[in-house]
Amino acid sequence: MVHDSDSGTFIPFDFENLQAQIPELKQLDCELEVHSYEPSIDSSNMHPRVWIQLAETIESAYANYDGFVILHGSDTMAFTSSALSFLLENLNKPVVLTGSQLPSGVPRTDAKENLITAIEIASSYRNGKPVVPEVSVYFEYQLYRGNRTHKVNAENFEAFASVNYPPLAEAGVHLKFNRTAVKSLSEGTLIAHKNYNPNIGVLKLYPGISESIVKNTLNHPETEAVILETFGSGNAPTSPWFLSAISEATARGLLILNITQCVGGSVELGRYETSKSLKDFGVLSGQDMTFEAAVTKLMFVLAQTEDASERMALITTNLRGEMTL
């Protein structure tokens, strides 16, 4: 982003002038090419069709490059990195998303370091093989798996965290890769999926939530799946009206995915009495998935098949390292 003196706000800058903005890029031991989309957008305007566009761009250029860096606003970066992890099946090259908390051109900007290191990571190969052949997010000296990442701070440079999965790399004087955390190379050729189904709902529980709110969310005619954000390790109210609403929804075929509101930890359906009924009604466990991964995984799975049993199988399968089983 750059400051627009006319409006007094920050707006997307011209990516074609990237090397002029950050001349240090010329010192990197790799060849760079820049591809930009028109118009550039603020990441708050991100949409699944842009995820498809990104996947198509990577697919078309896949054979010509050793790695890809995506410059992205931090607000929805974790959604995009999660979405791309599902769209890019059999990915065997680095796709690194990065951005900054302070816009490029501001004296204390973090944009330069984030971009330069992201490019170094994307071009890192060992014995002819990529060191990090997966979708990742680099921010403030840490590299995280893309679908394990969550934005946790709107002001600090340490904007992202991956509580339930270790960093893939740390950047100090040297780049230190956590090779045991990085996924292995996939078999088969790249498959870039081109469809997303956004017909999902989100029901975040809170003390005193009303019956009408719950039923309106579960009964929306276009909703094919609902993310149920529960307390602790997957717990929910045991009020008769609430359990009845959940039971009726799953009985008519609505997929309900249970994820915890906690930043860390996992859903354990049936551990407490307050989650046993959810398990009995067929609510699915999201294990330790982030909210961003749950949203994008559901959109991805719903687009792959209309068969309920196949959808349930895919949702509960660890497709891209997004959850710990």
How would you write the pLDDT of the chain (325 residues) with one tens digit per residue?
A: 666 667 777 666 665 666 666 788 888 888 999 888 888 888 999 999 999 999 999 999 999 999 999 999 999 999 999 999 999 999 999 999 998 887 766 777 788 889 999 999 999 999 999 999 999 999 999 999 999 999 999 988 888 999 999 999 999 999 999 999 999 999 999 999 999 999 999 999 999 999 999 999 999 999 999 999 999 999 999 999 999 999 999 999 999 999 999 999 999 998 888 789 999 999 999 999 999 999 999 999 999 999 999 999 999 999 999 999 8
Domain 2-192 has CATH 3.40.1360.10: no
How far is Cα 71 from Cα 115, in angstroms, rounded to an integer? Answer: 8
- What confidence score (pLDDT) does residue 5 get? 67
The beta-strand segments (E) located in the chain are: 2-4, 9-11, 68-71, 88-89, 95-98, 125-126, 129-130, 135-139, 142-145, 150-151, 160-161, 169-171, 175-177, 191-192, 200-204, 225-230, 255-260, 284-285
> What is the pLDDT at residue 264?
94
Q: What distance in Å separates the CA atoms of residue 239 and residue 274, rounded to the nearest whole number?
A: 10
Q: What residue ranges do the domains of the chain occupy?
A: 2-192, 200-315
Report the pLDDT value the prediction gives residue 270, as an integer from 0 to 100: 86
Other Cβ atoms closer than 10 A to 306: 10
Q: What is the topology classification, in CATH, of domain 200-315?
A: Rossmann fold (3.40.50)
Instruction: Provide the whole-model pTM.
Output: 0.93
CA 238 remoteness from chain centre: 32
How far is it, in rounded angstroms, from Cα 288 to Cα 325? 8
Fold agreement between 2-192 and 200-315: yes
Q: What whole-number distance in Å separates Cα of residue 156 and Cα of residue 71?
A: 19
pLDDT score, position 325 = 81
Q: Quick count: other Cβ atoms within 10 Å of Cβ 4?
A: 12
